[in-house]
């Protein structure tokens, strides 16, 4: 009787928009939480921005005041005031403003790029926690877009949000109060009206439309990235089957979708920029109009009014910063929403805490049922198999019989619908993932090779391994002589995805990588499918010797039955069920048995 098991988590990851969309406050809160360690310099950057913009306003006001005062003196027939004090002050303020600008940009972008680093690390940690399950529920192109382009778009939030928002509040307020004190409050009121309209009214117009458009545009760009990624990775097939024009047409259509999705936000941004620029130019005019009466009454000097008008005109930099913030923030938050969706997604296979026992360990599949997500038929039905410790167990059967599925469950790539998988007696639902993968290694048919040297590709399993240990693993995999003959030997750089080596070499590099990890259980999925019989025999003999020395457990999935007698135990599967199990010679002795029939088909 089988032991009750908890239900398997839903295999399908929520698509964008399926779950409740986070509020802007929630997005900002998450961004600040992840990046908190690197945020303090942002305060200094903001102080530099505020001080630098105030200096810029003071320079304009001082210059305007000096020019009008000199003009008045000349008009009255008197001598013009000396320009040296003003020029000296302008030089000092210019140098100070330059230093403040440098500090603002350096510190702001240091925070921004450090924040992007933390966000990428958070995203990668989330993907690592969900691997390998996430690889069956997400597209590589979409994940690539989220971890590169989307993260890059968030840079605006850190480098061009807090400081511009604070300066848009403090700098105009300081200028308006100063105008009120030096050129009457009605003049300050006229300046305040145009500034409030330019900073607080116009930038928020169309924000809802822009936010929705930004979300659509970011999603459209992700679809385009996925399509281009697929097309590049499958370029040989696309060209070989004459589908280049078709893929290009689809690329154009997706590109048009990006443009169409971006159009509303672009149009709203153009209108905002035009409105803000109009108000920036209207500000000095309003100041002069409001100050004409006080100047005529002798309450305000013409030089003071000119300084006020120049100061308001110079605030255009601050005002435009607020508008740019309003235009770029929706895109940044739309990208942050996509990154957060992956980074905070629930882990489909929660990690356990149980530790596998030391020493030799075996694997047991106990009354296992399993159906792949979206499939109409189960891949495994009531499977009860035991791969004993320190033995070589072969899983054989026709394609689709469930062999690879058993291997996937042994590494907890997923949980069974019913029944349990135990390694070393520990239910994998209760086992710590790091402990499991440190003891069990998989060599698949199509292992991934990275664009780095042969030695580093093998050393991926144990970064601290010496060259001698790497070479020893390659010798077991019957690969050492071939690597030594390469142009740079073990330092030879491999092409992307191992394109510069043969299929057989790629398989043996993956095998050497697994051997270097010194696992207690080695799962081999068609690990010699690309090898000729002679090399196949050498590799098998090497792995048999290695397993015997280490006391390792080996589970092999294979279609090749010519050396099946080397196994200690054979399990024959058909239609997701075990149809025969036992020692290979005993099974082959039954001429009408499933194993004998499979071998007869191979000649």
Residue partners of 344: CB distance under 8 A and separation at least 6: 30, 126
Residue pointed to by tokens 């596998």: 356
Residue 52 · residue 105 · CB < 8 Å? no
Is 13's pLDDT higher than 50?
no
When mean pLDDT is compared over 1-15, 235-249, 366-380, the highest value belongs to: 366-380
Query: Over 70: is that where the pLDDT of 105 sits?
Result: yes
Q: In this model, does residue 12 exceed pLDDT 60?
A: no
Residue 18, pLDDT > 50, answer no
Location of structure tokens 């499991």? 436
| pLDDT, position 262 | 80
pLDDT confidence band for 127 (50 / 70 / 90):
confident
pLDDT given at position 2: 43
Give mean pLDDT, residues 331-346.
88
Residue of 418, 460, 431, 446 whose CA lies nearest to 363: 431
pLDDT, residue 499, reads 66
Rounded distance between C-alpha atoms, residue 284 and residue 298, angstroms: 20
| Average pLDDT in the chain | 87
Residue 20: its pLDDT value, please?
62
Contact 535, 558 (CB under 8 A): no
Give the pLDDT band (50/70/90) at residue 134. Answer: low
Report domain extents, the chain: 23-183+330-347, 184-299, 363-370+380-601
Q: Which residue has the tokens 């296979």?
A: 349
Greater model confidence, 508 or 72: 508
Q: Which residue has the higher pLDDT, 586 or 128?
A: 586
pLDDT the model gives residue 349: 81
Q: Please give the C-alpha separations between residue 290 and each of 71, 183, 255, 510, in angstroms, as whole numbers.
A: 22, 10, 51, 79
pLDDT, tens digit (0-9, with 9 covering 90-100), for 178-196: 999 989 999 999 999 999 9
User: In the predicted model, what is the mean pLDDT of residues 337-361?
Assistant: 87
* Better pLDDT: 563 or 278: 278
What is the rounded average pLDDT of the residues 401-423? 92
Asked if 43 contacts 167 with a C-beta cutoff of 8 angstroms, the reply is no
pLDDT tens per residue across span 525-538:
988 888 888 998 99
Phi, psi for 578 (deg, rounded to 5): -85, 120
Residue 380 belongs to what H/E stretch?
strand 380-387
Please report, for residues 35, 49, 99, 110, 173, the alpha-carbon distance to residue 104 in angstroms, rounded to integers and kept in the order given.
Answer: 19, 6, 9, 10, 20
Tell me what pLDDT residue 370 has: 95
pLDDT for 603 equals 64
Q: Which of 305, 286, 300, 153 is nearest to 214 (CA)?
A: 153
Query: Using CB atoms within 10 A of its CB, is residue 317 exposed (0-12), middle (13-18) or buried (19+)?
Result: middle
The kind and range of the H/E element at 269 are helix 244-296
| Position 517 pLDDT exceeds 50 | yes
State the pLDDT at residue 379: 93
Q: What are the distances in angstroms from CA 228 to CA 116, 138, 383, 602?
A: 24, 16, 41, 41
pLDDT score, position 324: 80
- Give residue 271's Cα distance to chain centre: 33
Whether the predicted pLDDT of 15 surpasses 60: no
Task: Give the C-alpha separation, 202 to 274, whole Å.
Answer: 10
The phi, psi pair for 556, rounded to 5°, reads: -115, 135
What gap in Å lies between CA 519 and CA 203, rounded to an integer?
A: 60
Output the pLDDT for position 136: 63
pLDDT of 69 above 90: no
Distance between CA atoms of residues 514 and 511, nearest Å: 5
| Cβ-Cβ contacts under 8 Å for 61 (sequence gap 6 or more) | 307, 308, 310, 311, 314
Sheet holding 426-427, edge to edge: 380-387, 363-370, 418-423, 426-427
The reply to whether 23-183+330-347 and 363-370+380-601 are identical in fold is no
Residue with tokens 């545009």: 217
Determine the Cα–Cα distance for residues 500 and 344; give it in Å rounded to an integer: 38
Q: How confident is the model at residue 109 (pLDDT cuts 50, 70, 90)?
A: very high
Per the CB < 8 A criterion, the answer to whether 356 and 435 are in contact is: yes
Residues 153, 146: Cα–Cα separation, whole Å: 10
Q: pLDDT tens digits for 322-331?
A: 878 877 888 8
Among the ranges given (226-235, 444-453, 588-597), the one the predictor scored with the smallest mean pLDDT: 226-235
* 486-506 average pLDDT score: 82
CB 305 within 8 A of CB 291: yes
How far is 310 from 63, CA to CA, in rounded Å?
Answer: 9
- Domain 23-183+330-347 in CATH: superfamily? ABC transporter type 1, transmembrane domain (1.20.1560.10)
pLDDT value, residue 228:
83
Mean pLDDT, range 549-572, rounded to an integer: 90
How far does the chain reach from its first CA to its final CA, in angstroms? 40
Tokens in use for 520? 């207690």
Q: Are strands 363-370 and 418-423 parallel, antiparallel or unpaired?
A: antiparallel
How far apart are alpha carbons 302 and 341 in whole angstroms?
59
Q: What is the pLDDT of residue 89?
A: 93
Does the pLDDT at position 299 exceed 70? yes
Rg (C-alpha) for the chain, rounded Å, is 35
363-370+380-601: in CATH 3.20.10.10: no
Half-sphere CA count of 476, side-chain side, radius 13 A: 23
Nearest partner of 449 among 483, 481, 478, 487, judged by Cα:
483
DSSP per position, 395-419: EE-STTSSHHHHHHHHTTSS--SEE
Q: What is the pLDDT of residue 561?
A: 86
The residue behind tokens 């000199």 is 70
Sheet of strand 569-574: strand arrangement: 440-443, 521-525, 553-557, 392-396, 569-574, 577-582
What is the pTM (predicted TM-score) of this model?
A: 0.75
Which of 381, 371, 375, 370 has its CA nearest to residue 574? 381
Q: How far is CA 532 from the centre of its chain?
A: 40
Higher pLDDT, residue 480 or 204: 480
pLDDT for the residue numbered 430? 92
Q: Is the pLDDT of residue 343 over 60?
A: yes
Average pLDDT over residues 368-382: 91
Confidence class of residue 257 from pLDDT cuts 50, 70 and 90? Answer: confident
Q: How many other β-carbons are positioned within 10 Å of the β-carbon of residue 155? A: 19
């Amino acid at each position: 009787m089988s032991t009750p098991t908890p239900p398997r988590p839903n295999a399908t990851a929520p698509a964008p928009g399926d779950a409740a969309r986070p509020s802007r406050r929630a997005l900002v809160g998450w961004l600040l939480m992840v990046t908190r360690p690197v945020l303090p310099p942002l305060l200094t950057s903001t102080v530099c921005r505020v001080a630098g913009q105030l200096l810029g306003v003071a320079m304009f006001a001082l210059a305007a005041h000096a020019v009008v005062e000199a003009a008045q003196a000349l008009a009255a027939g008197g001598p013009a005031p000396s320009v040296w004090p003003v020029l000296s002050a302008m030089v000092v303020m210019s140098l100070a403003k330059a230093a403040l600008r440098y500090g603002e940009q350096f510190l702001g972008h240091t925070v921004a790029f450090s924040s992007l680093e933390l966000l990428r690390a958070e995203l990668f940690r989330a993907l690592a926690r969900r691997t390998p399950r996430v690889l069956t529920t997400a597209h590589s192109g979409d994940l690539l877009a989220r971890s590169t382009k989307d993260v890059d778009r968030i840079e605006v939030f850190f480098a061009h949000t807090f400081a511009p928002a604070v300066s848009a509040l403090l700098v105009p307020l300081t200028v308006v109060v100063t105008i009120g004190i030096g050129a009457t409050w009605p003049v300050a009121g006229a300046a305040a009206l145009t500034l409030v309209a330019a900073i607080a009214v116009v930038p928020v117009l169309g924000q809802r439309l822009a936010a929705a458009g930004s979300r659509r545009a970011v999603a459209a760009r992700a679809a385009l990235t996925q399509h281009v990624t697929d097309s590049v990775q499958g370029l040989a097939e696309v060209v070989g089957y004459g589908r280049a024009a078709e893929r290009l047409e689809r690329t154009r259509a997706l590109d048009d979708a990006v443009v169409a999705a971006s159009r509303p936000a672009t149009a709203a941004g153009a209108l905002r920029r035009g409105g803000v620029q109009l108000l920036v130019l209207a500000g000095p005019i309003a100041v002069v109009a409001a100050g004409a009466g006080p100047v005529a009454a002798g309450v305000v000097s013409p030089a003071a009014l000119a300084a006020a008008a120049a100061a308001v005109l110079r605030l255009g930099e601050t005002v435009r910063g607020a508008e740019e913030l309003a235009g770029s923030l929706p895109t940044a938050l739309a990208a942050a929403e996509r990154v957060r969706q992956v980074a905070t997604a629930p882990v489909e296979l929660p990690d356990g805490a149980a530790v596998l026992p030391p020493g030799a360990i075996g694997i047991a599949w106990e009354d296992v049922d399993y159906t792949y997500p979206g499939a109409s038929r189960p891949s495994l039905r009531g499977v009860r198999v035991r791969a004993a410790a320190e033995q070589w167990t072969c899983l054989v059967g026709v394609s689709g019989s469930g062999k690879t599925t058993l291997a996937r469950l042994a590494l907890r790539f997923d949980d069974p619908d019913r029944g349990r998988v135990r390694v070393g007696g520990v239910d994998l639902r209760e086992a710590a993932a790091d402990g499991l993968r440190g003891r069990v290694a998989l060599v698949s048919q199509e292992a991934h090779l990275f664009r780095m040297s042969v030695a580093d590709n093998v050393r991926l399993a144990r970064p601290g391994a010496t060259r001698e240990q790497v070479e020893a693993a390659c010798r077991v995999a019957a690969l050492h002589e071939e690597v030594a003959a390469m142009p740079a030997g073990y330092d030879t750089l491999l092409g992307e995805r191992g394109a510069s080596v043969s299929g057989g070499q790629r398989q043996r590099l993956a095998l050497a990588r697994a051997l270097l990890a010194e696992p207690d259980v080695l799962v081999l999925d068609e690990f010699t499918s690309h090898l000729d019989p002679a090399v196949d025999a050498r590799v098998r003999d090497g792995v048999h010797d290695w397993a015997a020395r280490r006391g390792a457990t080996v589970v092999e999935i294979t279609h090749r039955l010519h050396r099946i007698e080397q196994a200690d135990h054979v399990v024959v599967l058909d239609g997701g069920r075990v149809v025969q199990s036992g020692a290979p010679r005993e099974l082959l002795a039954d001429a009408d048995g499933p194993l004998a029939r499979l071998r007869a088909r191979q000649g």
